[in-house]
Amino acid sequence: MGRCRGWSSAWLRGSQEGARPLSGRSVSYTTRAVRDLKRLDPAAQRRVVDGIDRHALTGAGDVKRLRGTRRGSWRLRVGDWRVLFTYDSAEKAVVIMRVEHRSAVYRRK
């Protein structure tokens, strides 16, 4: 599982300038999460990444712990989009695993 570290909303706007680890927790994206983000339209990308950044920095947002087969994972609700992530306590990081529409995110594949 590849990870892309330290990306912020500046990455989605086409610039690595300003991309930095956040002071609360750093954010890393799996390869799958990056692919999910690239499939969104630019406005949705911006909104989702801003929600991720805000949660990593302050802990704010509509976050719930998942149960069942996804035990140990969390979800962040950003409008109609759901961000599935875990906390990496050793690295003090939020690891983004998936970004999907609410109608598809919990379906088994």
| Residues 59-79: tens digit of each pLDDT | 888 999 998 878 889 999 999
Residue 87 placed within a domain: yes
Please give the residue range of the domain that contains residue 37.
Answer: 3-8+22-101
What is the C-alpha separation between 66 and 19, in angstroms, rounded? 29
The confidence score (pLDDT) of residue 8 equals 52
For residue 93, is it within any domain? yes
Query: The domain spanning residue 69 has which CATH number?
Result: 3.30.2310.20
Mean model confidence pLDDT for the chain: 82
Using one digit for the tens of pLDDT, what is the confidence trace for 33-47? 999 999 999 999 999
Helix-strand-coil split of the chain, %, nearest 5: 30, 30, 40
The confidence score (pLDDT) of residue 19 equals 43
Confidence of residue 21 (pLDDT cuts 50, 70, 90): very low
Is residue 9 pLDDT above 70, yes or no? no
Position 96 in a domain = yes
pLDDT at 71: 82
Number of domains in the chain: 1
In a domain, residue 46? The reply is yes
Supply 51's token pair.
Answer: 């929600």
Please state the pTM of the whole predicted model. Answer: 0.75
Average pLDDT over residues 82-90: 91
Contact (Cβ atoms closer than 8 angstroms) between residue 80 and residue 102? yes
